[in-house]
Chains A and B, each alone.
Chain A
Amino acid sequence: MTAQTLKSRIADIIIWILLLALTLSCLVPLLNLVAISFSDNAAASANLVSIFPVNPTLSSYDKLLSDSQFWRSFMISVERVGLGLLVNMTLMILTAYPLSKSPRQFRGQKVYMNIVIFAMLFSGGLIPTFMVVKELHLLDSIWSLILPGAVPIGNVILLMNAFRGVPKSLEEAATIDGASQWTILMRIFLPVVLPTLATVMLFTIVGHWNDYFGALVYINKTSNYPLQTYIQQLSVEVQNITDPEKLMELAKISDRTLNAAKIVVSTLPLLMIYPFMQKYFVSGIVVGSVKE
């Protein structure tokens, strides 16, 4: 019996060590970045910063405050998330609701469903989509970042499954009271699927905030880049140099603390909503994937 408990103790210790290692592997690189942003440039360039700032200073944040391009990009990202959220949520709800009905209740459900599935499975690809956006004269406009992905089909399907889980009796009762489908959707279905709604909403926010590629393809003026594209461009210079020695040289002279500060500030909005979203996306993933 005691041998058993001893073995179990050792197992516990090993489990904790492994867990801590995995958790720290996620935490330390991010803390390192924060520490670099608060350190002075000399220490950062010499790779002396671990998870605590060396010669703590706010100078990089000072510099960042006067970087007008950064804040312009920041505001473009904020605008994009706002507009994108409005467009995506409206279309997601309006599309998912009729699709959640049985073909008996909504004649045509099958046809629409096939169209949506087909659009999910097959696409013209990057280049033809680019040309359509160009033909519509959307290049260089914020709408080029929002409209091509206006109907996020994966989220539509998630929401559709949530609508299907709403008890039939609720809808029947409302129908007897003479409610229209619009009223039933707004007053009954939406409140019931609120957790799923929150999940897809948070996915939408994160998706728009994190996207850098859309602007890379559709926006020509660098001054109109959203935040992530702006950040992404910081490392492009370094990437396109193929000579390893030059690469190291450039890494040395580049303003590492300022870049770190830019990254920290551009991650803050996400970190602020993250604690609130956690419980929703966990249940959202479980509901959306385990059960039918």
Chain B
Amino acid sequence: MKNKKDQAAFHFMMLPGMIFLIIFSFIPMFGIVMAFQNYIPAKGISGSHWVGLDNFRFMLQIPDSKQIFANTIVIAVWKIIAGTLVSIIFALLLNEVRVRFAKRFMQTIVYLPNFLSWAILATVVMNIFSYEGPINAFLGWFGIDPILFMASNKWFRPMLILTDVWKGFGYGSIIYLASLTSIDPGQYEAASIDGANRWKQLWYITLPGMLPTIILVTTLNLPNVLNAGFDQIFNLYNPLVYQTADIIDTYVYRVGLVERQYSLGTAVGLLRSVVGIVLILSANKLAQKLTDYRIF
């Protein structure tokens, strides 16, 4: 009797969430058929022509698509590598600080940019990298001619990576700092009695102690190789740098929604999510194997 009541309560609790998931997650999945059609808005999904894999074939032919897939992966991989490194280095440096007040102050400051949106930070970045901005003024001291960072295919990408790392390294360091505090202080005492200097302690105690966390976070980052950061690029780029900065997500937005090529946009988006799922499932398996951790 009691149990029946519990079951009913549980189902009832799930109901609203399920309704929203069905409407806004599952029904849109049917829209994927647009990728296999020559979708014309006036005719709707039922009235549009089936074209099979034509959209995908077209996608593979246009030079744009190779470019955007390459851009996506290159930008994302650099962001992951640089971001992880800087986060780890910051955590290690901060761990050496014994002044509590200073430690907390620095943490508060470096976590902050992560909570500001790219819509806001874009203005900050544009100020700094502008033609007459501080970076160019600084380069001027060394006799270097000002660079149009925002409009240069050579510089835009390094700038994307640099500013992304800048925004996220503090927040990313939280988990590494946590793993550092869980290392047994007795190990350091023993090591210093044995005459190990700070460098050796870092190398033989701290880094091995962090390794499981580093492996875990890197594994969980695997699905992000398709996630080069829509918000950032969308807010910073312009047609001059499409060649090096256009990624799958910005392309789908521009071609699909702005230019209203619904079928092509959906096809590109579909390919991205299929590869994305494979990556997430692999990361989950890999993490489970390496560290006993499961995302789900």
Residues of A within 8 A of B (CB): 4, 7-8, 11-12, 15-16, 18-19, 22-23, 25-27, 29-30, 32-33, 36, 47, 50, 90-91, 94-95, 97-99, 101, 105-109, 112, 115-117, 119-133, 136, 147-151, 156-157, 175, 180-182, 185, 206, 210-213, 217, 228-229, 231-232, 234-235, 238-242, 244, 247-248, 251, 259-260, 263, 266-267, 270, 274-275, 278, 282, 285-286, 289-290, 292
Contact = CB atoms under 8 A, between A and B. Distances in A.
B13 interface: yes
A119 B128 contact: no
Contacts of A97: 13
A121 B24 contact: no
Contacts of B6: 105-106, 180-181
B28 A125 contact: yes
26 contacts: A11-B96, A15-B96, A22-B90, A32-B124, A33-B127, A95-B13, A106-B6, A108-B11, A122-B29, A124-B32, A127-B269, A132-B23, A181-B10, A185-B13, A210-B116, A211-B117, A228-B120, A235-B235, A240-B239, A244-B148, A251-B131, A266-B120, A278-B111, A286-B174, A290-B179, A292-B293
Nearest to A7: B197
Main secondary structure on B side of the interface with A: helix
A18 B93 contact: yes
Contacts, number: 266
B61 interface: no
Given A26-B112, A151-B20, A210-B116, A290 B9 contact: no
Main secondary structure on A side of the interface with B: helix
A33 to B, nearest CB: 6
Chain B interface size, as a band, is 35 or more
B16 interface: yes
A231 B94 contact: no
Interface in B244-296: 252-253, 256-257, 262, 265-266, 269-270, 272-273, 276-277, 280-281, 292-294, 296
B18 A115 contact: yes
Contacts of A106: 6-7, 10
Interface of B: 2, 5-7, 9-11, 13-14, 16-18, 20-21, 23-32, 34, 86, 89-90, 93-94, 96-97, 105-113, 115-117, 119-120, 122-128, 130-134, 137, 148, 150-151, 166, 169-170, 174-175, 178-179, 197-199, 213, 216-217, 230-231, 234-240, 252-253, 256-257, 262, 265-266, 269-270, 272-273, 276-277, 280-281, 292-294, 296
Contacts of B112: 26, 30, 274
A289 B175 contact: yes
